[in-house]
A and B are shown apart, each in its own frame.
Chain A
Amino acid sequence: MTSNRLPAGGPNRIATRFAAVAAEGRGALITFVEAYDPDRATSEALLAGMPAAGADLIEIGVPFTDPMADGPTIQRAAQRGLKAGATLPATLDMVRGFRSLDAATPIVLMGYYNPVLSYGPERFAADAADAGVDGLIIVDLPPEEADELTVHTGPAGLELIRLVAPTTDDKRLPVVLAGSGGFVYYVSITGITGTRSASEAQLADAIPRIRRATTLPVAVGFGVRTPEQAAAAVRLADAAVVASALIDTLSGDLDEAGRAKPGTVEKVLDQVRALAAGVRGARRNNQAAE
């Protein structure tokens, strides 16, 4: 099998993409697909279509039976994915397929630790890098417990992306950021995914605090749903992550049997286009004001 792993020591796809986006004077849009939601073909079509629709980076959700940080939208997406046969190896296979179409768009796997632990951290790091994965967000793996995974992800060239929450105080921030890579994912609310949204004032308070502690790009997620919210996020941060809003569009368009309709994928991609326009417009407004 061909490896999609980039040469060791060279720039990671995530760093390359953030640099390119910054050179365009704008923020990045990070979109989300739950693997196998509602079936493999639909999630692959979404994944394949997202870069052209304006996604700069893509997160792929790895379904887990007990997603304790997720709200009902992503919980149900995970259940649909599992029902359709999603597993961690099958998700890596999706990434491999995507890499045959797109060698540049960074792929970040987002999920929970038990499937990774069950796969075996060492084998997982190697297989994920070979499949063309660039970064990992493991929601329930805080820095205190991450050693057994980072010892393998580092050599494989995988970035471990850390979550920073509003509850992460200045004293704890360096603990969370030590060993983090790719970008910093700011969980902008205290709550689960797809529920409430942070205000611009809250972001204006939080983002500079994180910037003082890291040189990595900062992405804002949890509660970013509309092009306006995405624009607000990238006026302060380097990227906006949109997940639940896209899944709501997908799940709202499924037929009674839970299957995607002929226009479902385009509907979600239209939303990606609108979000991308919001993100791209934001910095231009910003620059015009400067």
Chain B
Amino acid sequence: MNKPLSPALPNSLKPNSFKSGPDERGHFGTFGGRYVAETLMPLILEVEKAYEACKADPSFQAELDRYLADYVGRPSPLWFAERLTKALGGAQVWFKRDELNHTGAHKINNCMGQILLARRMGKTRIIAETGAGQHGVATATVCALFGLPCTIYMGATDVARQSPNVFRMKLLGAEVKPVTSGAATLKDAMNEALRDWVANVTDTYYLIGTVAGPHPYPAMVRDFQSVIGIEAKQQMLRATGRLPDIAVAAIGGGSNAMGLFYPFLDDTGVRLVGVEAAGHGLDSGQHAASLSKGRPGVLHGNRTYLLQDEFGQILEAHSISAGLDYPGVGPEHSWLHELGRVEYVAVTDGEALEAFQLCTRTEGIIPALEPAHALAHVAKIATTLPDDAIILMNLCGRGDKDIFTVAEALGVKL
């Protein structure tokens, strides 16, 4: 327990605080930054300036807090998953229940923050990318709440496999534009959203859904998601009188994980574990494990670990979970990976499916396939730990959206 930090870097090269990133140019060590076309640079600088002003303005946080409490339903509960713990036979498993948020996932924490920012900036049109559709639904929701038109870019492949969320977005008044370029998944949706932004620079705000993209997005999205870890820390202290031994979260772009991990980064007695999607297996060539199998590169405005070939062409990712199906990862994760502060592991489609069913039967909670990946890793390690050990897992989304995918994977015809 409380294993010391893995010495990936000599201490002299480690920052005084793991919460010190990014620097003023948006760099987390060698990662992050602002790799965008010149047309977008002034816009990104404007977003940064506006966000810094909001951070310094107590009325912004007060406004956000009110919406998070009364509209999103925060704080989300911390739940001791007792039957699951018994079934696994080892460490105690606790869930941070962000699937109970309005719209059913952690995504709305960030959307609420960014929509208030966009309003303060006087923007009148919102665009976003989405993979599983959770961020699209959350964006469409806050746009409906504030009466702003919104366009959601979604890979055509994802439109087909996440049709309930597509319908939800349309009900909320969003325009959903299927993207057919590339493999027609999240990466291509992000390209298309950036192209839209380049063409609509005056009125449009790009509401990025994860801790990636050009600075300030990775830091800003992390800040808005950190409410998860801040609450969890207080709740855990209240419930058990101590911090967890291990905190676990799934990683696609990595926003729910950054949100959970960030407030714990300097509590070095807490092991932090990010779970990537191993798809059909890490050696299958069909996975989304950019930290486990990728190398640093530049895509979508930031420098980070990417799945790429030897010539720097980006590879298609694969995961049963549309929300993890992305060949990159947020730059702060790349940094924490190189610093050795967070351990990154990977879980296959099959393991996630098993965990999905285990959670459903033992706790009466249908998890999204994204946190089912985190749970699959929890199941692996819980059995190796004593029963006074505490594992905190971010249950970042509910699985209603995934029942068709799961049924198909299990060979059930609905």
Contacts and interface: CB of A to CB of B under 8 A. Distances in A.
Interface stretch (A16-24, A141-149, A207-215): A141-149
Interface stretch (B106-114, B192-200, B270-278): B192-200
B311 A87 contact: yes
A41 B111 CA distance: 49
A127 B311 CA distance: 15
Given A114-B298, A118-B312, A144-B34, A166 B39 contact: yes
Contacts of A142: 34-38, 41
A15 interface: no
Given A69-B39, A139-B37, A114 B312 contact: yes
Contacts of A139: 37
A167 B43 contact: yes
A164 interface: yes
B60 to A, nearest CB: 26
Contacts of A75: 181
Contacts of B43: 167
A260 interface: no
B33 A118 contact: no
Contact of B313 (A65, A141, A163, A176): A65
Contact of B198 (A116, A164, A176, A190): A190
Given A87-B311, A115-B313, A176 B195 contact: no
Given A75-B181, A140-B36, A140-B298, A114 B314 contact: yes
Interface string B4-47: 00000000000000000000010000000111111111110000
A145 B187 contact: no
A113 B298 contact: yes
Chain A contact residues, majority secondary structure: loop
Contact of B25 (A115, A144, A162, A195): A144
A114 B39 contact: no
B195 A71 contact: yes
A69 B297 contact: no
Contacts of A112: 298
B312 A88 contact: yes
A49 interface: no
Interface residues of B, number: 35
A145 B299 contact: no
A176 B37 CA distance: 12
B317 to A, nearest CB: 12
B313 A82 contact: yes
Contacts of A176: 38
Contacts of B310: 118
Contacts of A64: 312-313
B404 to A, nearest CB: 29
B182 interface: yes
Contacts of B33: 144-145
Interface of B: 25, 33-43, 181-182, 187-188, 191, 194-195, 198-201, 297-301, 306, 308, 310-314
24 contacts: A64-B312, A65-B182, A66-B191, A68-B191, A69-B195, A87-B311, A88-B312, A114-B299, A114-B308, A117-B312, A118-B297, A140-B36, A140-B301, A141-B35, A142-B35, A144-B41, A145-B33, A163-B38, A167-B40, A167-B41, A168-B38, A172-B42, A187-B37, A195-B199
Interface of A: 64-69, 71-72, 75, 82, 87-89, 112-119, 139-142, 144-145, 162-169, 172, 176, 187, 190-192, 195
Given A65-B314, A167-B41, A168-B42, 14 more contacts: A66-B182, A68-B300, A69-B198, A88-B311, A88-B312, A118-B297, A118-B308, A142-B35, A142-B37, A144-B41, A166-B39, A167-B38, A190-B198, A191-B198
